[in-house]
Amino acid sequence: MVGSSMSGTEKLRLLIIGKSKNPRCFKGIKSFAVDYEYNKKAWMTSEIYEKWLLKPDKKFAAQRRKVLLFVDNCPAHPKSVESKLKNIKLEYFPPNLTSILQPMDQGIIKNLKQHYRNRIVMKVLAHMEVATPTTVALLDAIQDLNKTWTLDVKEQTIANCFRKAGFVKDKVQQDADNWDEDDLVPLSELKTLWTSYRRAIDMSDVSFEDYVTIDDNVQITGFPTDEEILESVIENLVPNKKDPEENEDDGQSEGETVPTPAIDETISAIEKIRCFILSRENIPYEIHNSLNLLEDFIDKEKWTNFTPKKITDFFKKNL
């Protein structure tokens, strides 16, 4: 699930829906840069939709902002949620006109997917260069998707897609009408990388077009059956009931966890990164500022968990 302002300067957190509550690759993970939800079919549901909407509504209320949000007209987006929103007003696109009126379908989602696939192929090829096997677990996919959404999908792409959908009528409308989303998608670069990858692993039966359009027809929502509704109710009534999909095999070995370095090790790593950045020319200010924010966060974590020693501790060492 993606959302942003018309200018592209403000992007909502990605909503990612998986099939498992606690896959193995989530061991040791306590926070995400995205919103993660789950159900057995990895479908959008009315419950997930409502939960996702209430988060930005709360944020906009704290900022004292009123926001008009356009959403698809589908069974998983019930209009009943409007009564629970305070600072978001919803407008639904007419049925069967998503491909024409929905800005995200004018090239933003396509742009996101192709930049993401570009990152995945580059990662796999980089590991092949050093002869180390790699797998793409769900956690890897989430992190790469978030990087793609925040770094690769440009403001210009989003703004042009809104213009193409008819949200803006101004002097640049003609340019938007002539704009093609493929101009901002690295198709040629992705095709070159895919060709190298396919040769390396002998996948001659999978074409570039198959790779690019692999999930075009994937169903992302639907009407729940009576059995699914009943099972959902039982899960909510029995919170300790084991999730049958919990700890599913996602490419990581049993018991493998994300390593948690000590705070001093983290501070040392940040210092090395700073030295690397300072040794390069024309580094954008945003990178320096982001590093400062990261360093400040780690420092606060260190002193929050700091336990001052007693004076008697110094005498114990000498005894």
86 Cβ neighbours under 8 A, 6+ residues apart: 57, 61
For residues 218-246, give the mean pLDDT: 58
pLDDT in tens, 298-318: 878 777 765 655 666 555 655
Q: What is the rounded end-to-end Cα distance, in angstroms, of the chain?
A: 63
Tokens of 230: 């009943």
Q: 125: how many CB neighbours lie within 10 A of its CB?
A: 15
Beta bridge partners of 18: 38
- Confidence at residue 3, expressed as pLDDT on a 0 to 100 scale: 93
Query: Helix, strand, coil proportions of the chain in percent (round to 5)?
Result: 50, 5, 40
Instruction: Compute the half-sphere exposure of residue 11: CA atoms within 13 Å on the CB side of its CA.
Output: 26
User: CA-to-CA distance for 117 and 113, rounded, in angstroms?
Assistant: 6
What confidence tens digit (pLDDT) does each residue in 208-228 have?
A: 666 666 666 665 666 556 666
pLDDT above 50 for 255 = no
Cβ neighbours of residue 91 closer than 8 Å, sequence gap 6 or more: 68, 69, 70, 71
Tokens (6 digits) for 202: 């002998």
Query: How high is the pLDDT of residue 183?
Result: 47
Contacts (Cβ under 8 Å, ≥6 apart) of 138: 18, 20, 23, 25, 26, 250
Tokens of 275: 């030295």
Mean per-residue pLDDT of the chain: 77
Distances (CA, A) of 4 to 7, 66, 121, 303, 316: 8, 15, 27, 36, 59
Q: Choose among 53, 162, 55: nearest CA to 102.
A: 162
- Residue 130 near residue 122, CB atoms below 8 Å: no
Question: What value does the mean pLDDT take over residues 26-37?
Answer: 87
Contacts of 134 (CB under 8 A, 6+ apart): 123, 124, 127
Give backbone dihedrals phi and psi of 164, rounded to 5 degrees, phi first: -65, -30
Q: What is the model's pLDDT at position 56?
A: 94
Task: Tell whether the model's pLDDT for residue 50 goes beyond 70.
Answer: yes
Confidence of residue 60 (pLDDT cuts 50, 70, 90): very high
Say what the pLDDT of residue 318 is: 54
Residues 155-181: tens digit of each pLDDT: 999 999 898 888 876 654 555 455 555
Residue 254 is predicted with a pLDDT of 43
Distance of CA 120 to CAs 6, 19, 135, Å? 28, 21, 10
In the predicted model, is pLDDT for residue 10 greater than 90? Answer: yes
Please tell me whether residue 309 adopts helix, strand or coil conformation.
Answer: coil
